[in-house]
């Protein structure tokens, strides 16, 4: 089930960044003083001792200005994960892969800090055991990695094992918007930052042309933007749509786990798992949102889902429809991520987006911009960058500077993204609401101005839901919880059972008291 949605920021370097690195000097890290030649020149010219001293001081100051801002003496800094993996020497030797963007960034960062960035893969990484490898290496005192771009499920146990640097008191020095450090914040302790385009959340997509062809006079986008996408509004709209569809076709089909990741946050800001360790399964608003999709299935408005459980009540099989491949054939609407919309116009024509419905706990006094603050859109997955707790002692470089190294590397490969993160920080410092999203205002893959506007607005409503990370790590079983609700089990008792098991697992890991 693991899948990285980390994008590759293949964009050119900005002139400002190149200029700042040039100003920092070369990569040798050696400062050559010119004071002695200045003294000799002054004496030869018959200058006074005061003149000689002044000249020497001026020359020394100039030399210092040209010296590197940092000089760590060629210290090795071991990196791994995400975009760091493009520094793998094997990729540089592969003629079919162009990693020059990353290797150029590597050289500039190395010159700025006088360090040696070394791609270091933890031996035996299968994609599912990174946390175990990191923890065991630190226990053995080996320090396999210094800077790590991880997955959120991997850092869960690393937080519990206390192997990550805590930058709660210094993270603001990075000058990046709080939303990006929230990605690696657990129980109010900041352990890192994400350089992902946070806010590219799950959305529901559909074909405008298909809706027009079957006689629907409004689109889901229009309904949402008018503020008419509450549970009853959506049910009424889907009921009308169903009456116009051929037999065997459904208004909506999405995976029940995707619904569980998104619907609770939209119905009152209740994620499956929040960053303070609260599991939302027993919250009335969360239960209402989960039961709503079950109701849509029972009414024939959502595609049927068949689930199988063994004698121990473990989910063993599922049969369901979802994904963009079935649009306009088996169903009209489904969930998609931004990366899945590339080429969507070619397959279904003019397409649109809509987000998740809400219940009575959310108010809307006009159009969608009047939705109450507790209407949230969940960020379901992201790639946090962290620094290992022993990296500072091993390298002689303090934790926040190691993070700054990571920031500089990411800024060189994606200057627009990091500039957006910094602009968000500047807005926060000024007491203003930041603009979130690396591509705000641009067309991306969308077909209409309405979709662009709605998607940009969604970025400002982001709430991290740790459902997928905790599910992937086997700590909190959001998947099974929702499956049992879909299968007709009582949502409250099911939620209580799964939440209690989740809290027990969290305590065992040491991430909650």
Structural tokens at position 413: 């490969």
Task: Say how far residue 369 (Cα) sits from the centre of its chain.
Answer: 24
Mean pLDDT of the chain, nearest integer = 89
pLDDT, residue 47, reads 44
Structural tokens at position 332: 């009209």
Digit-coded pLDDT (tens) for 404-413: 999 999 999 9
- Asked if 434 contacts 445 with a C-beta cutoff of 8 angstroms, the reply is no
- Asked if 183 contacts 192 with a C-beta cutoff of 8 angstroms, the reply is yes
- Alpha helix ranges (H) inside 374-486: 391-395, 399-413, 415-429, 449-459, 467-472, 478-486
Digit-coded pLDDT (tens) for 328-355: 999 999 999 999 999 999 999 999 999 9
pLDDT, residue 491, reads 98
Average pLDDT over residues 223-231: 98
Digit-coded pLDDT (tens) for 16-36: 223 333 333 333 333 333 333
pLDDT, residue 50, reads 47
Reduce the DSSP state of residue 36 to 3 states and report it. helix
Indicate whether 202 pLDDT > 90.
yes
* Residue 276 vs residue 69, higher pLDDT: 276
Task: Give the CB-side neighbour count of residue 37, counting CA atoms within 13 A.
Answer: 6
Task: Give the CB-side neighbour count of residue 398, counting CA atoms within 13 A.
Answer: 7
Digit-coded pLDDT (tens) for 432-442: 999 999 999 99
Share of the chain above pLDDT 90, in %: 83
Nearest-angstrom CA–CA distance, 193 and 275:
14
* Residue 61 vs residue 430, higher pLDDT: 430
CB within 8 A of 15, min separation 6: which ones?
none
- Asked if 243 contacts 305 with a C-beta cutoff of 8 angstroms, the reply is no
Distances (CA, A) of 409 to 108, 195, 400: 8, 11, 14
- In 10 A of CB 165, how many CB atoms? 22
Q: Backbone phi, then psi, for 194, in 5-degree steps?
A: -110, 140
- Alpha helix ranges (H) inside 313-354: 344-348
Question: What element of type H or E holds 235?
Answer: helix 231-244
Residue 198 buriedness (CB in 10 A; 0-12 / 13-18 / 19+): buried
Average pLDDT over residues 195-222: 97
The gap between the terminal CA atoms of the chain, to the nearest Å, is 29
- Asked if 356 contacts 263 with a C-beta cutoff of 8 angstroms, the reply is yes
* Residue 66 vs residue 92, higher pLDDT: 92
pLDDT, residue 26, reads 35
pLDDT, residue 57, reads 53
Q: Which domains does the chain have, with CATH numbers?
A: 71-196+381-429 (3.40.190.10), 203-379+441-509 (3.40.190.10)
pLDDT, residue 360, reads 96
pLDDT, residue 141, reads 80
Q: In the structure, how many helices (H) and strands (E) does the chain have?
A: 21, 15
Digit-coded pLDDT (tens) for 123-144: 888 888 999 999 998 888 887 9
Nearest-angstrom CA–CA distance, 109 and 86:
15
Q: For the ranges 68-72, 152-156, 338-342, 483-487, which has the lowest average pLDDT?
A: 68-72
């Amino acid at each position: 089930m693991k899948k990285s949605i980390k994008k590759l920021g293949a964009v050119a370097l900005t002139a400002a960044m190149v200029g700042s690195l040039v100003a920092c000097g070369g990569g040798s890290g050696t400062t050559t003083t010119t004071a002695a030649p200045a003294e000799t020149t002054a004496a030869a010219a018959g200058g006074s001792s005061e003149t000689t001293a002044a000249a020497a001081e001026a020359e020394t100051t100039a030399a210092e200005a040209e010296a590197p801002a940092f000089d760590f003496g060629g210290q090795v800094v071991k990196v791994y994960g995400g975009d760091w993996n493009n520094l793998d020497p094997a990729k540089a030797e592969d003629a079919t892969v162009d990693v020059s963007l990353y290797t150029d960034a590597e050289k500039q960062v190395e010159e700025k800090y006088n360090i040696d960035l070394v791609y270091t893969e933890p031996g035996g990484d299968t994609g599912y055991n990174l946390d175990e490898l990191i923890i065991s290496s630190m226990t053995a005192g080996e320090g396999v990695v210094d800077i790590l771009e991880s997955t959120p499920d991997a850092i869960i146990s690393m937080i519990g094992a206390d192997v990550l640097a805590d930058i709660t008191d210094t993270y603001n020095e990075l000058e990046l918007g709080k939303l990006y450090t929230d990605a690696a914040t657990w129980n109010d302790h900041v352990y890192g930052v994400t350089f992902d385009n946070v806010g590219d959340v799950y959305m529901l997509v559909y074909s405008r042309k298909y809706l027009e062809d079957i006689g629907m006079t409004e689109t889901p986008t229009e309904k949402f933007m008018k503020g008419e996408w509450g549970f009853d509004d959506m049910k009424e709209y889907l009921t009308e749509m169903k009456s116009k569809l051929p037999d065997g076709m459904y208004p909506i089909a999405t995976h029940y786990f995707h619904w569980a990741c998104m619907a609770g946050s939209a119905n009152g800001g209740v994620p499956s798992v929040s960053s303070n360790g609260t599991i939302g399964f027993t919250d009335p608003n969360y239960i209402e949102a989960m039961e709503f999709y079950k109701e849509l299935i029972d009414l024939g408005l959502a595609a049927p889902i068949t689930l199988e459980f063994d004698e121990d009540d473990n989910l063993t099989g599922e049969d369901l429809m979802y994904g963009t491949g079935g649009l306009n054939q088996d169903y009209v609407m489904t969930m998609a991520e931004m990366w899945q919309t590339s080429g969507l116009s070619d397959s279904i024509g003019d397409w649109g987006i809509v987000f998740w419905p809400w219940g009575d706990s959310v108010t809307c006094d006009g159009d969608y911009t009047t939705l109450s603050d507790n209407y949230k859109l969940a960020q379901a997955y992201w790639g946090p960058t962290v620094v290992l707790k022993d990296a500072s002692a091993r390298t002689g470089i303090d934790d926040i500077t190691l993070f700054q190294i990571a920031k500089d590397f990411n800024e060189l490969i994606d200057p627009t993204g990091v500039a957006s993160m910094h602009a968000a920080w500047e807005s926060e410092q000024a007491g203003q609401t930041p603009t979130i999203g690396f591509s705000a205002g641009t067309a991306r893959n969308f077909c209409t101005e309405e979709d662009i506007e709605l998607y940009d607005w969604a970025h400002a409503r982001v709430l991290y839901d740790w459902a997928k990370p905790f599910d992937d790590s086997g700590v909190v079983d959001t998947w099974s919880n929702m499956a049992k609700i879909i299968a007709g089990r009582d949502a409250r008792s099911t939620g209580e059972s799964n939440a209690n098991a989740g809290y027990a697992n969290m305590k065992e890991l040491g991430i909650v008291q």
